[in-house]
Amino acid sequence: VGRVHLSFTPSGRDVRVPPGVSVFDAASWNGLAIDSTCGGHGTCKKCRVQVVGGTVPVHRLDVRTFTAAQLADGWRLACLAQATTDLKIDVPPLTTRPKAATLGVGRQVILRPAVQKRYVELSEPTLQDQRTDLQRVLDEIDDLELTPDLHVLRRLPAVLRAADFKVTAVIVDEALVDVEPGDTTARRFAVAFDLGTTTVVATLLDTATGTPAAVASMLNKQQPFGADVITRISATMMDPQAAERLRDLAQATLAELTAEVLAEAEVEPGEVYEVALAGNATMTALVLGIDPEPLGVAPFVMSSSTLPALLASDLGLELHPRARAVVFPALGAYVGGDIVAGMLATGMDRDKRTRLFIDVGTNCEIVLSDGDTIVSTAAPAGPAFEGGAIRCGMRAADGAVEVVRIDADGVHLQTIGDVEPQGLCGSGLVDVVSELVRADLLDSSGRFVSDERAAEIAPQVADRLTSIGQERVFVLHRPEADSPPEESVYLSQRDVRELQFAKGAIATGWTLLLEQLGLEQADVQQVLLAGSFGSYLSPAAAVRIGLVPKIPVLRIVSAGNVAGEGAKMSLLSVRERAGALALLEEVTYVELSDRTDFNDRFIDLLAFPG
């Protein structure tokens, strides 16, 4: 998909957007505010800008707004000006200050939630004025073309009369979904969910201010069915009842978290008018009660790439009866809505730099953009990063070694919770291997050096290199000074292999994507490490073991929980939501499992670059 370039003065901001996007949206998506009170609906006539380079056709509303001389000078309404070629636009100073929130990786989101509230004081009906109850409301809000909802008609007569005709209209997009007594404009909330296979996070957002009112997280109640998506899909294949059970468990998780955040912020369920959910393709299918089986077997097909309009009640949530649910659609069976949300939160589609996004996990999702074209893939990394298949592996919980340093004094460990080491979590695994490579105790092929060699190059830690049975191990922590190696926390030769397979699969993924766009490792200007594991990785260790391209560590950033951030952004701005949908059209999915060159690359990339 080609892009058009828009340069804005006097801010100096340069943005690239798909052709056909309005100048107003292009600015707003990139955190640049243009005056407006109607939010880009073509009714307030405040979004005046001057096109000083390139051309934009004159809209009929431009003719009513500007003089012929102004039109000839390039003055246009930004929300009606479609950018189909490169443009240079001068933006006059703001007369009103827009509300904005910073989310994701430095994304400025200008608030434009789908849910709006308008307080109106209506005149009471008389024999001379027999307008309907509904018409009285519609006449007061004449800048929007409201469509009423049956729920409103049922309540309207009683609410108007009980509240002396002073009411607040609740509007979602252009639908009038409720009329509340009195002025409730300050009370409008939404909940963003990050539905992970392991952990689920809910954030209650005050959409009037753009700030989070409460956050809660818990383990996904589906856990007893298995740790990863494959075991949960298999459960539904073996037992016809399991899918229903899994749906109920996912929905119960969302409901419990919702109750928790509402209680904490003292918000009533009826004050939540919208929810958003980002999850991988399997979690999304399961929570909606859609059969996940085709996602788990070749050729890995989704039931649908778009989702119908959904209500929060479809997710089992009891909120405002008309509360809607925005569920992020997936790009493919293995690049889910969580990644689409992550791309939104990191602005993968709005940055001119060459950037690589890696969500490290059992299934590792990789996205590469060169500023114009975006390609993505999924690499099967396996469970090593979650501590699975590792002898002393464990989840990132108290007692997990997460940082390892080897220096002249020996080995230094840091554990989660600062307690005695119990095992190795994913980031500890990456760290210890990276440190052993740095100390030359592991060679580039991933083999421990001989005892003699270890005594020569690293005498301070040489006694930690020993064997359990036939297998070489490196002891990290002995509970007692004389504990045998098998009772210690250690790294085995086989663990190193597991890590090599995992990082080899990921490196093969991004190598093939780089080739697809004709790029080299050194061309990558930024690597974003995302997800619950990726965000904790040490950039230097990731480079040393070859998990990410060999670039300066300052260019590797931890992106955090970007899926949740994307979900929040979609609730705070309908423009961001549209941006997420646009991503589905823009990103090309590259399937790796049928590539004949996958294996050769994979073998090459098992080694440690050091």
Residues that bind ligand FES (CB under 6 A): 24, 36, 38, 40-47, 77, 79
Q: Tokens 């607040």 map to which residue?
A: 168
Q: Which two tokens stand for residue 367?
A: 């996205």
Please choose, from the candidates 484, 479, 360, the residue with its C-alpha nearest in 3D space to the C-alpha of residue 429.
360
Distance CA 353, CA 166 (A): 52
417: left (phi over 0), alpha (psi -120 to 50) or beta: left
With a CB cutoff of 8 Å and minimum separation 6, the contacts of 218 are 199, 200, 253, 256, 257
Please choose, from the candidates 371, 416, 379, the residue with its C-alpha nearest in 3D space to the C-alpha of residue 397.
416
| H-run or E-run covering 285 | helix 281-288
Write the DSSP assignment of 548-572 as a string of letters. S-S--GGGEEEEESHHHHHHHHHHH
Burial of 578 (0-12, 13-18, 19+ CB in 10 A): middle
Minimum CB separation of residue 361 from ligand FES in Å reads 41
Our CB check for ligand FES shows the closer of 41 and 595 to be 41
Count the neighbouring beta carbons within 10 Å of the beta carbon of residue 79.
Answer: 27
Integer-rounded Cα radius of gyration of the chain: 28
Helix then strand then coil, % of the chain, to nearest 5: 35, 25, 40
Distance CA 348, CA 370 (A): 9
Alpha helix segments (H runs only) across 93-149: 133-140
Our CB check for ligand FES shows the closer of 95 and 130 to be 95
Distance (Å) of CA 285 to CA 281, 294, 295: 6, 11, 9
* Angle at CA of residue 273, ends 578 and 139, nearest 5°: 85
Burial of 566 (0-12, 13-18, 19+ CB in 10 A): buried
Please choose, from the candidates 55, 59, 66, the residue with its C-alpha nearest in 3D space to the C-alpha of residue 89.
55
- Whole-angstrom distance between the N-terminal and C-terminal Cα of the chain? 38
**Cβ(558)–Cβ(473) under 8 Å?**
no
| DSSP class of 26 | H
With a CB cutoff of 8 Å and minimum separation 6, the contacts of 316 are 248, 251, 252, 254, 255
Distance CA 239, CA 27 (A): 51
Our CB check for ligand FES shows the closer of 144 and 323 to be 144
Minimum CB separation of residue 110 from ligand FES in Å reads 12
By three-state DSSP, how is residue 476 classified? strand
Minimum CB separation of residue 35 from ligand FES in Å reads 8
Count the neighbouring beta carbons within 10 Å of the beta carbon of residue 51.
Answer: 20
Our CB check for ligand FES shows the closer of 145 and 264 to be 145
Q: Which two tokens stand for residue 453?
A: 């060699």
Please choose, from the candidates 204, 253, 277, 533, the residue with its C-alpha nearest in 3D space to the C-alpha of residue 381.
533
